[in-house]
Amino acid sequence: MRVLIPIVLIGLLGGCANLQEPIPPGYAGPTALVGDNCVAESGSKARCFVVEAVDGNQINNALIASRQASSGNGFALTTRNTARRLTAMSMKVKLVGTHVTAAPIEALASKAAGTFFSVEGIVEFTPTADVVYRVNGELTKERSSVWIEEASSGQVVTNKVSSKL
């Protein structure tokens, strides 16, 4: 039994994704800034819209940062919006829009009550150099969507990933 526990732990930790930097080492070309967007609905639940991966590589995002900031705080959710520089070149980004809760049991209760929504998908994105973007969306019973927009104007610059419930 003592041998089995470390083996199981190694297996679980090995299954965790390695987060990648979205800009290759040594890249000195033009970049744009893309920010994730978490909005609190209560002290223990929020709507988060994030870039989860760039060209298939998982990156740090507001969901990860918020989970880390909330760890050990019971039902108190601490959201952490994050942003990252991306190359000003065409890429595929995985967008996620989801409710996030401080405690897993609250997520289960919200799902059972029909008040926990999420959507994800991959879109083409070609950022313009020196422009600031944000991930935005909506999470409702009728429809959940996520997209990237210019932060200053709110103009949508990617296709919307949507799901009808």
Q: What pLDDT, in 10s, does the model give residues 69-92? A: 878 778 888 889 999 999 999 999
d(CA 71, CA 35): 22
Name the DSSP letter for residue 75: T
pLDDT of residue 65: 87
State the average pLDDT for the chain: 88
Alpha carbon distance 97, 118 (integer Å): 5
Concatenate the DSSP letters of all residues of 2-66 into one string.
TTHHHHHHHHHHHTSPPP--SS-TT--S-EEEEE-EEEESSSSEEEEEEEEEETTEE---HHHHH
Query: Out of 11-25, 36-50, 102-116, 147-161, which region has the weakest mean confidence (pLDDT)?
Result: 11-25
Report whether pLDDT(117) > 60: yes
DSSP tag of 119 = E
Query: pTM score, two decimals?
Result: 0.84
Cα–Cα distance between 37 and 127 in angstroms, integer? Answer: 17
pLDDT at 51 over 90: yes
37-48 per-position pLDDT tens digit: 999 999 889 999
Task: Compute the average pLDDT of residues 14-32.
Answer: 83
CA distance 161 to 94: 10
Instruction: Spell out the domain ranges in the chain.
Output: 29-164
